[in-house]
Structure 1
């Protein structure tokens, strides 16, 4: 019997450490490296890493590498060699595109071609899952386990990071309670907590939808700016209210409120994307310049919650065919797509057009 952390708990510790600027140790097949998120790195810690010797490498995604004109020999990422005299500002400018237009010439950048990129890939996955900019400083070390023990650092295996990413977290029901709402007095909120220590997700059940027939359902990604502040840059708030109103009118339905802000990149990175949009980039281009995919959401979460609640067939309120495909791939039968076309304004017309043209939304 052991009281020590499980694999899932070690990975969550690693995420938390990266958010605080604390390095973590990654190990794979006899190789090891220290990794730290550039966004949270400070000058003192950078100096400490340099004192240790060895060659510092900046891991960035292929999307960010394309913006920086750096060669991504590993396909999905690039390993940029860090000059010995490079200051912290140089690293941050490579990680953060905020000043790309003001200072577009950051190279030429030298990138690694030889050797395995597994440690660097795991560092980027951890940074993304911590909702940090996907840029990590990586320093190879000889004995990762000894270094972690001596310095009190979290040590995780690359295979565990990859497995956690591929499998996703298990969702555990926490509590449910009745909640009368404007849309209906027959409302109930269910709270689900992932076992990896991540943020909770919610299911808003309208009425008492039968489990043996298709239920009117929506997967709604949290949007603080749209749902709470009434932002005119997106259609999220109107979609949320329209979906609940339609469920209330029909007397039954379930809306999943998934805490995957900014299509899975988090509020801070969404605000960075908004800033880039003000510079003239569309929503997809902004995500790519930041180093993210078009959409980083995990639709398996919604499928798992619906199955856990006993639903197997759904009428999906969505304009996004990708949601239908992902739910079908995860054990749900989508018997009907119910359009949800509301909330277009002069402020979001270009955003909606980009979603239609580049992300396949049916608008």
Structure 2
């Protein structure tokens, strides 16, 4: 009997290790590296990595642009860590919280040449772990021996990266009747990905005919807006308005996707909010953190709709990217139903930025 982990299981363990500040060994066909999430580095861990070789900090091109560092690797930069650098330096380079109060962190020396595949994998892992997209790394010659001696997860990068780019299969685990204020004839479906990621939900109102376009919304989880009633966004009003329209129509499907903060997670969302308080708009804040404008994966919504038997929708949205992704994934959007609610004096600039920079139809 073999107890060896499958590749999805190994990926899930690697993400969990990074969240705990535990190093992960990344291996390609041409080399290997040990990586630890930048926000999880301690003084002792930094000393351990220095004992293995010359450390470098892998950051995204978005973060490199903010720091005026050269991203020779295209989508990322490998910054050489100075001999006298400590954990404070690493945190300051990875986290933009103090960029304005302490702007002079460089000059930086970016590595060029060689294979950046391990650095690319480390950043991708950090993103899926909802951490800052930055990793402290050291190239190592004998990865299996290092992993075995220290009980570390070893991830085969060449096989893992395509899997991380693919959409994890989703299983409809269970559904049950949940009467809502907006519609008493509602059921909630729980969908679980097989890669250990967050569960997603589908609220089915009534008994929609699978042969007809269903009134649907792809709603990304927003703890502050949906639960706390935050006025910084329009998420809560959109959620309630969508459910109300479906309740009035007697049927519909609301997909509640666990992609907080446009896919960057709760902590990074709060970091983005802090940057907005410093005067940056929502897109600029994401870029300073090292993320793209929007890190969400709307393929998840299409996959859930198809799993539920729907092939066409009347989509409640102001976001043309959602329409494009539905179409790409084989779900026909017969109509875009506008959802213009929730504007107030606190989020007016935020909504204007979504129109100007993200193409939203408001």
> TM-score, normalised on structure 2?
0.99
User: Hey, what's the Cα distance between the residues in 2 that align with 1:61 and 1:194?
Assistant: 27
Matches within 5 A, 1:162-201: 162-201=161-200
Q: Any idea what the Cα deviations from partners look like across 1:315-337, whole Å, max 9, x if unmatched?
A: 00000000000111011001110
Quick one: distance in 1 between partners of 2:167 and 2:16?
18
Unaligned runs of 5+ in 2: none
CA–CA distance in 1 between the matches of 2:266 and 2:127? 13
Deviation at 1:4, TM superposition (A): 1.9
**In 2: Cα distance, 1:141 partner to 1:73 partner:** 21
Deviations 1:129-172 (A, max 9, x none): 00000010110001111111111100001123311222121111
Matched with 2:38 is 38
CA–CA separation in structure 1 for the residues paired with 2:308 and 2:167:
18
8 Å Cα contact 1:283/1:351 also seen in 2: yes
Q: What is the Cα deviation at residue 108 of structure 1?
A: 0.3
In the TM superposition, what are the counterparts of 1:342-357 in structure 2 within 5 Å?
342-357=341-356
Q: Which SS does the other structure have where 1:345 is aligned?
A: coil
Report what 2:313 is aligned to.
314
Task: Provide the residue aligned with 1:268 in structure 2.
Answer: 267
Equivalent residue for 1:218?
217
Question: Does residue 18 of structure 1 match 2:11?
Answer: no
* Residues 126, 161 of structure 1: 8 Å contact kept: no
Q: CA-atom RMSD, angstroms?
A: 0.7
Instruction: Give the secondary-structure state (helix, strand or coil) at the position aligned to 1:344.
Output: coil
Residue in 1 that maps onto 2:107: 108
8 A Cα contact 2:29 2:158, kept in partner: no
Deviations 1:157-209 (A, max 9, x none): 11233112221211111110001110011000000011001110000000000
The answer (yes or no) to whether the contact 1:71–1:111 under 8 Å persists in 2 is yes
* Residues 31-180 of structure 1 aligned to structure 2 (within 5 Å): 31-52=31-52, 54-180=53-179
Pairwise CA distance, 1:310: 0.2
Is the CA contact (8 Å cut-off) linking 1:261 and 1:267 kept in structure 2? Answer: yes
Residue equivalent to 1:204: 203
- How far apart in 1 are the matches of 2:147 and 2:30? 15
Does the 8 A contact of 1:125 with 1:161 survive in 2?
no
Question: 1: distance between equivalents of 2:77 and 2:299?
Answer: 28
Give SS of 1:35's match.
strand
Structure 1 distance, partners of 2:213, 2:107, is 56
Residues 201 and 256 in structure 2, CA contact (< 8 A), matched pair in contact too: yes
Matched, 1:293 2:292: yes
Quote the Cα distance in structure 2 between the aligned partners of 1:160 and 1:185: 46
In 2: Cα distance, 1:168 partner to 1:315 partner:
24
Alpha-carbon distance between aligned partners in 2 of 1:192 and 1:42, rounded to the nearest angstrom: 37
CA distance in 1 between partners of 2:102 and 2:84 (Å)? 19
Give the drift of 1:85: 1.7
Per the TM alignment, residue 30 of structure 1 is displaced from its structure 2 partner at its CA by 3.1
* CA deviation string 1:246-292 (max 9, x = no partner): 00000010000000000000010000000000000000000000000
Instruction: Say whether the 8 Å CA contact 1:132–1:269 is kept in structure 2.
Output: yes
**Does 2:6 match 1:6?**
yes
Runs of 5+ unmatched residues, structure 1? none
1:226 and 1:270 map into 2 onto residues whose CA distance is 12
Bigger mean CA deviation after superposition, 155-164 or 225-234:
155-164
Give distance in 2, aligned partners of 1:73 and 1:299. 30
Query: 1:57-101 CA distances to partner (integer Å, 9 max, x unpaired)?
Result: 100000000000000011110010001221100000000000000
Count of residue pairs brought into register by the alignment: 362
Answer whether contact 2:199 2:258 (CA < 8 A) is retained: yes
Deviation, 1:2, is 2.4
